């Protein structure tokens, strides 16, 4: 399997939603997608289009090479480029798990294989917020104290409403484009009159620390085993 698939940011976001729809419809038992943008965009939740200055911010960012796209998941603006690899897991949890910890469990299913792979490389992997990181969250995957992967998820009901199906997403910085990414995010905040700012030093790219040529293949194997195992649970 060649990893990751090259897609425009718009096509990648659509491919994730298509995968979610297929699992909801029962056309697939589960889905796994690794994709890498062939262009650049600043992707943000749909709710941010209500901010004062949003249209002017979009125009300015497009002129600087970072067109704005809206996504269905929450969070904050996230820059996407060829320096990013996206991981999407789509699955229905075993009925035996119940619904109480579905969100936390979804994040752990995405994050733990990444942490294990980083630890095997000799890094120090952790989960948690990093001050100054864009789209910061409790389930960042961090490498040596800096954010490497941002995470989000979206849930829908399967056809007939019989069970929930989740799209759990991670965006991993593979190559160092931190400065221009942070500039784009801060440009958006400034144009919309927001005080929030992010810092390049709060992030790290995998290949800044480890070449790790087979890292994605190792992850894909872990996720395939995990998702297949859910069917037997």
Q: Can you give the pLDDT at residue 95?
A: 87
pTM of the predicted protein model = 0.95
User: Quick one: tokens of 9?
Assistant: 């940011």
Q: Tell me phi and psi for residue 107, to 5 degrees.
A: -65, -40
Q: Can you give the pLDDT at residue 233?
A: 65
Distances (CA, A) of 11 to 7, 99, 172: 6, 31, 18
Q: 79 with 42: CB under 8 angstroms? A: yes
Q: Say yes or no to pLDDT of 1 above 60.
A: no
167 SS3 class: strand
Helix axes 54-63, 178-191, angle to 10 degrees: 150
Q: Can you give the pLDDT at residue 73?
A: 75
> In degrees to the nearest 10, what's the CA dihedral of 116, 215, 204, 137?
-50
Helix axes 102-121, 215-231, angle to 10 degrees: 150
Q: Can you give the pLDDT at residue 161?
A: 78
Q: Say yes or no to pLDDT of 22 above 80.
A: yes
Q: Can you give the pLDDT at residue 2?
A: 62
What is the Cα–Cα distance from 185 to 145, expressed in whole angstroms?
21
What is the Cα–Cα distance from 7 to 14, expressed in whole angstroms?
10
Q: Name the band, by pLDDT with cuts 50, 70 and 90, for residue 229.
A: very high
188-197: per-residue pLDDT in tens?
A: 999 999 999 9
114-154: per-residue pLDDT in tens?
A: 999 999 999 999 999 999 999 999 999 999 999 999 999 99
Comparing CA positions, the residue from 168, 147, 146, 180 lying closest to residue 86 is: 168
155-187: per-residue pLDDT in tens?
A: 999 988 788 999 999 999 999 999 999 999 999
| Residue 198 neighbours by CB under 8 Å, 6+ apart | 132, 133, 134, 182, 185, 186
Pick the range with the lowest mean pLDDT from 71-75, 95-99, 127-131, 146-150. 71-75
């Amino acid at each position: 399997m060649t990893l990751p698939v090259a897609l425009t940011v718009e096509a990648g976001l659509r491919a994730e939603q298509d995968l979610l729809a297929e699992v909801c419809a029962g056309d697939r038992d589960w889905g796994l997608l690794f994709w890498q943008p062939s262009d650049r965009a600043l992707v943000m939740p749909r709710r941010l289009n209500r901010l004062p200055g949003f249209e002017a911010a979009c125009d300015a960012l497009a002129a600087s090479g970072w067109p704005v796209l809206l996504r269905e998941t929450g969070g904050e603006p996230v820059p996407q480029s060829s320096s990013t690899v996206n991981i999407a897991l789509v699955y229905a949890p075993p009925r035996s798990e119940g619904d109480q910890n579905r969100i936390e469990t979804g994040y752990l299913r995405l994050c733990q294989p990444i942490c294990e792979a980083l630890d095997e490389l000799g890094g120090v992997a952790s989960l948690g917020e990093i001050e100054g990181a864009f789209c910061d969250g409790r389930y960042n995957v961090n490498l040596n104290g800096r954010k490497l992967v941002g995470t989000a998820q979206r849930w829908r009901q399967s056809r007939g409403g019989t069970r929930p199906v989740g799209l759990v997403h991670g965006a991993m910085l593979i190559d160092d484009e931190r400065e221009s990414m942070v500039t784009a995010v801060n440009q958006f905040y400034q144009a919309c009159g927001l005080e929030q700012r992010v810092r390049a030093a709060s992030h790290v790219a995998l290949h800044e620390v480890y070449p790790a040529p087979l890292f994605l293949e190792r992850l894909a194997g872990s996720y395939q085993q995990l998702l297949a195992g859910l069917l037997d649970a």
